[in-house]
A and B are shown apart, each in its own frame.
Chain A
Amino acid sequence: MSFIEFDSAVFSWPGSPRPAIRGLSFRIDEGEYVAIVGRNGSGKSSLLRLMNGLRHVDAGSVRVDGLDAADSANARALRSTLVLVFQSPPDQIVSTVVEEDVAFGPGNLAIDRAEIRRRVDEALAVVGLEAERKSPPHFLSAGQQQRLAVAGALAMRPRCIAFDEATAMLDPPSRQAMLDLMDRLNAEGVTIIHVTHDMSEAARAGRILMLDEGLLVRDAPPEAFFAKDGEVLESFGLPPAIALARTMGFEPRICETAGGCARLLADSIGKGLLQRPGAATAGAGAAPGGAIPAARGVGAAIDGAVASGAIPAARGAGASGAGAAIGGAGAGSNQQPPAPAFSLERLGYSYLRGTVNERRALSDISFVVPKGSVVALVGHTGSGKSTILQLLNSLALPSSGRILAFGRDPCEPKADLRALRMRAPLAVQRPESALFEPYSADDVAFGPKNQGLSGRALVERVREAMQKVGLPYENYRDRSTRSLSGGEKRRLALAGVLALDPEAILLDEPTQALDPAGKAAIMALITSFAATGKTVVFSTHSMDEAARADMVAVLRGGALLAFGPPGEIFGNNYDEAWGIGRPWAAQVAVALADLGVWSGPTPLDIATLAARLGSRLEQGAAGAATADLAATAADLAATAADLAAATAGSTAAGREAPR
């Protein structure tokens, strides 16, 4: 008998016409580590809720440890055997003190108080929150809150913990800590079920189940899972290592770290075929094809360059790289610099100024956002990213220093803040939670109406904005905002911002908690908006997304640590102490450099990395007169960008049209 058994399970949410789960059968044994992947709305969350009896099947059966999960009498036994950890950290905290929250679950089992204390001590030790045991949970960081949720789960002494996208809202270090914790618990025999959108997280599991529209469409260990081709996979994004292997035409291998991947690469390619440092750079610069378009992360550019035999120069650290990126702000570097959209001079900001709880959020921030550029803000939770965006939007006014938005100082007594805000509107985190009209087009019209538009002009503006985000006006105007999917709601909210026809947009973690297709759509939106010469400032926890900006601002504890083009930030100027990590491709290149088989500019996306590796192969092969390899290498490189561009999650694709 298996630990968890689904037998032709069918389930619909109340009021929903379509079943969320349509005849699902599979088994999970005790001690397994299983990842569950699938688009938003594919039935992943329903699945978990069926397992611990929060929801009951309409037909078929679900058994956990032999217990019928649809029988309410088993609820308590089920929920202490299989515990859920949810996506949003603050929404699963019940108590106002850390240790008491951990005790909530066992307390509900009405067991002895001394035993509860033992369990609380133990659980807090496992997740490393002993020092915070007396603190109020809302003073913890998101990562700590999520570890608190795990502690609360552990205190139930469960045999299985199911994580429902529990890493989606965490910054990279907290995310890593959470993944390590899952590994450790699994090593101790706890069954782990991890629902995730991130394919490299899924690849850590021993087995991956993929759901699509309530059906199980694939069930395999990671290597076999990713080895198979399939249309479905591409819209989900691939783990970067797999994407690279596919691009290069190698047998896909799962490797957990970029360093491991680099070692595999070095072995697979053969060190002899790769140029030694120094030799290759000249080749790269003077490649046939003449002018080399800097890789702009857009598939088409790479395709063209590779097809004509040119080698796309890694943008960034190289001479051509500094400015060329999404917006192409640096393109005309010979002309006079464009007027800044925003300039910040020694900017400081404190929350709750003049109270005992005053908290300094920013100090001494100075940088300039040129018109038409794309700037990414990166840094841990609480590093000041959101605060900067609010200052740029004049929602907050500086406590010290000066800020100019389009040459205007919002602190001037006569400043028209409302007009200023509409010139560079801010999409707050989860902007879809501010949707208020029952019908989609009406909500988009809110902004332009406030600008005084009406009649035809208003409709035209709304139509245009909805078109830009890929929600055609004709099909979506009368759709109820509540009926849209998560990704569609996010895009509708962004349409509401674009409808102001602004000069700049400010986006606070625009891709947070979206599935890979949703993320790709948002990044494509940024690209196309910037292509019209407008300014974008966005914050993100993904370095792969940040690498697609013209400039990256690295923040920590309210201070600006670095500001520069991504090629520099993630290249030569990179500092481990920032604690932000690099784009995956850059990590591999750095690891390859450590192995002595890489030199030159640091690539920021997989397409560039693959193309450069391909060109090394070509040159090396020519040198060694291995004609065979040389011929295939060119082919490989040609398909490289193509394949990599489709890996929405981790590469810089962006040409995928929003649905």
Chain B
Amino acid sequence: MKDLQFFANVSIGQYIDSGSFVHRLTPVTKFFGILVFFIVMFANTNVTGTTLLGLWVLAAALAARVNPLFLLRGIKPAMPFLLILSVLTLIFQSGTTGVALVSIGPLSIHLSTLLALLLLFSRFAAVLAAIGLLTSVTAEQEIAHGIEDFFAPLGRFGFPSHEFSLMIAVALRFVPIVTGELESIVKAQASRGGDFGASGINPIRKARSYLPLFVPLIIRTLERAELLVEAMEARCYTGDERTRYTTYEMVAGEGFVRLGLTLFMAGGVVFGLYFAKTLP
């Protein structure tokens, strides 16, 4: 805990308005885009499919004029977990078929294992990049509205799309609030010599050492939630019918984008399920 900074390595949730065509699409289209991404990704589990999917995300990033490297920043904090996962994979997948590259005692590392790891990393990076891209081209309020519009058709079956979107909006509002409170509490306790999670290996003591952070954090979060609820109630929020201020118009060519996405989804699924089997 040298320099206490909380936002440096997070790319998710950082809207960058480059004014591109992708930015101007309605949130519904953007959500459809991410849905298509996940469907195609699950249908394609091999190297060829993942590569094509990665290229597709890269193309979308370039079209949105967002630096692809920026999207990958989020992978840094996840690195330790990925590395642990890699080591575990290497140990437990040793001894499978194929050519062994290195053998150390009972462990042998195979080409296929390395390839599997590479694939794991690539897919993880692709997911991060895709989510990062969505949040880079979608402002916060568009996310909430997008969810509302995206699920609106389900309203017919009783799905509370408005409440759901408000829930998301409030949750998003609380990310900076909770981060800010945590930062202030960490600083207050660090200033009094607090040294978190460092006292020995006894898990109970270790957990206890976090109490000075979590107790006040939970109290403050609840207090602030209560304040927000009061402010909303004071402004006549009842959860009943309300008029939404912002509406979205489709931009020229957006219909083609939706059509393109649909075709890409269909093509991706068919490719992944039927044709990619023979490829690496």
Contacts and interface: CB of A to CB of B under 8 A. Distances in A.
Interface stretch (A93-101, A177-185, A254-262): A93-101
Nearest to B7: A352
A163 interface: no
B238 A433 contact: no
Given A390-B187, A395-B4, A446 B194 contact: yes
A498 to B, nearest CB: 11
Interface string A328-367: 0000000000000000000000011111110000000000
A446 B192 contact: yes
Nearest to B230: A54
A357 B241 contact: no
A108 B238 contact: yes
A70 interface: no
A425 interface: yes
B186 to A, nearest CB: 9
Contact of B242 (A107, A357, A446): A107
Interface stretch (A79-87, A205-213, A225-233, A638-646): A79-87
B245 interface: yes
A506 to B, nearest CB: 8
Interface in B1-34: 1-5, 7-8, 14, 16
A397 B5 CA distance: 10
Interface stretch (A318-326, A416-424, A574-582): A416-424
Contact of A116 (B173, B177, B245): B245
B214 to A, nearest CB: 8
Given A397-B3, A429-B184, A357 B14 contact: yes
Interface in A189-241: none
A427 interface: yes
A86 B232 contact: no
A193 to B, nearest CB: 14
A95 B233 contact: no
A426 B4 CA distance: 14
Contacts of B227: 86, 88, 91-92
A524 interface: no
B163 interface: no
A356 B241 contact: no
B237 A108 contact: yes
Given A95-B169, A110-B240, A426-B187, A105 B215 contact: no
Interface string B213-244: 10110011000100110111111111011111
A447 B190 CA distance: 9
A152 interface: yes
Contacts of A109: 236, 242-243
B141 A95 contact: yes
Given A395-B191, A396-B4, A100 B228 contact: no
Interface in B145-178: 169-170, 172-173, 176-177
A75 B236 CA distance: 8
Interface in B175-221: 176-177, 181, 184-185, 187-195, 211-213, 215-216, 219-220
B237 A104 contact: yes
A434 interface: yes
Nearest to A506: B191
A421 B193 contact: yes
A152 to B, nearest CB: 7
B254 interface: no
Given A156-B236, A451-B193, A90 B216 contact: no
A450 B140 contact: no
Contact of B172 (A76, A96, A356): A96
B246 interface: yes
Interface residues of B, number: 60
B139 interface: yes
A250 interface: no
Contacts of A421: 190-191, 193
Nearest to A115: B243
Interface string A499-528: 010000000000000000000000000000
A459 interface: no
B188 to A, nearest CB: 4
Interface in B39-85: 70, 73
Contacts, number: 185
A589 interface: no
A74 B1 CA distance: 53
A109 B244 CA distance: 11
B193 A418 contact: yes
A554 to B, nearest CB: 25
B195 A90 contact: no
A240 B176 CA distance: 39
Contact of A79 (B191, B211, B236): B236
B209 to A, nearest CB: 11
Contact of B235 (A90, A104, A112, A417): A104
A436 B191 contact: no
B236 A76 contact: yes
Instruction: Report which residue of A428, A434, A446 has the largest number of chain B beta carbons within 10 angstroms of its beta carbon.
Output: A434
Given A79-B236, A433-B216, A90 B177 contact: yes
Contacts of A106: 243
Contacts of B1: 417
A109 B7 CA distance: 37
A447 B212 CA distance: 11
Contacts of A116: 243, 245
Nearest to B10: A355
Contact of A112 (B141, B212, B241, B243): B243
B192 A447 contact: yes
Interface centre among B191, B238, B245 (most CB of A within 10 A): B191
A83 to B, nearest CB: 7
A332 to B, nearest CB: 31
Nearest to A136: B140
A397 to B, nearest CB: 5
Contacts of B213: 436
B173 to A, nearest CB: 7
Interface in A467-501: 493, 496-497, 500
A355 B5 CA distance: 12
Given A417-B2, A447-B192, A110 B235 contact: no
B216 A436 contact: yes
Contacts of A88: 227
Contacts of A152: 235
A110 B192 contact: no
B141 A54 contact: no
Contacts of B233: 54, 79
Which one of B194, B220, B243 has the highest number of Cβ atoms from chain A below 10 Å of its Cβ? Answer: B243
A138 interface: yes
Interface string A597-629: 000000000000000000000000000000000
A244 interface: no
15 contacts: A75-B236, A79-B235, A83-B235, A84-B234, A100-B141, A105-B236, A113-B245, A120-B245, A136-B140, A352-B8, A355-B73, A393-B191, A396-B5, A421-B190, A428-B187
Which A-B residue pairs are the 3 nearest by beta carbons? A450-B193, A103-B245, A434-B188
Given A86-B227, A104-B232, A427-B191, 5 more contacts: A107-B244, A108-B235, A109-B243, A111-B243, A113-B244
